[in-house]
Amino acid sequence: MSGVLDHVMMRVEDLETSLEWYTTHLNYEEKGRWEADTFTNVYLGPEEMHEEGATLELTYNHDGRTYEMGDAWGHIAVRVPEGELEDHYEQLMDEGVEDYRDPESCGGRYAFVTDPDGHEVEIVQRDPDLPTWSLDHTMIRVEDADEALGFWTRKFEYEYTRRWESDTFANYFMKPAGASEAAMTVELTYNYDGRSYTMGDAWGHLCVRAEDLHDYWETLMEREADDYRDPAACDDRYAFTRDQDGHEIEILEP
């Protein structure tokens, strides 16, 4: 299905340490790997994955660089069965994962841990039929909610599946119309105080699947998406656009 989120990419400073963390604590396994002269990409996910499930891409640059987290990107979220949040969080604590925000501090509805690079990982409760630890959503912060909602609606034909509006911020969860419960959503977080954000470089991009890369790209261009890196610039294997805040979005034909 075109439009479904395929993966989310994060940069890591020690690939082996990151791989050990995700395979040990989230029971992820390697789904694919790309070795280039200057970098390595590794794709991870649970053993059992729905066909519309998303993977986590870890990018390791071989030159030993460090990264700035920034605050324009927030976190990834992974699923555990409804009613098992406390048990899974305690398991992570027993395994030595950092106690960042426990379920009690989050009203018993979710919790947070951090990986070795400081990327925040939210733990959310979902349908027991969905694979445990599978990717549920990726949160990005936006400076104008109307523009962000319009971008995902017009460019990618997304719709919001749920929303949360509080006194100081709003969250909008979006994915393509007709996508399954297993598909990862993008969470748009809008703070009402008019703040701006720094992108940093520890987070890389979201990736959207296309049944036909060139047809999908042509449609995006007709809808006035940012012509950031077109298919020809990427050896006709993928392409990149950007949203109104500068978040990079890869288009990939699996």
* DSSP 3-state percent helix, strand, coil across the chain (nearest 5): 20, 40, 40
Could you tell me the two tokens for 216?
A: 């999908």
- As beta bridge partners, residue 138 has 76, 186
Catalytically annotated residue among 122, 187, 248, 250? 122
Q: How many CB atoms lie within 10 A of CB 125?
A: 19
Dihedral sign, Cα of residue 246, residue 148, residue 184, residue 83: positive
Q: Are the CB atoms for 149 and 157 separated by under 8 Å?
A: no
What does the alpha-carbon distance between residue 39 and residue 80 come to, in Å, rounded to a whole number? 32
- Please confirm, yes or no, whether 122 is among the known catalytic residues: yes
Q: Give alpha helix (H) positions in 73-226.
A: 85-94, 145-156, 213-222
Q: Which residues contact 219 (CB under 8 A, 6 or more apart)?
A: none
Active site residues: 122
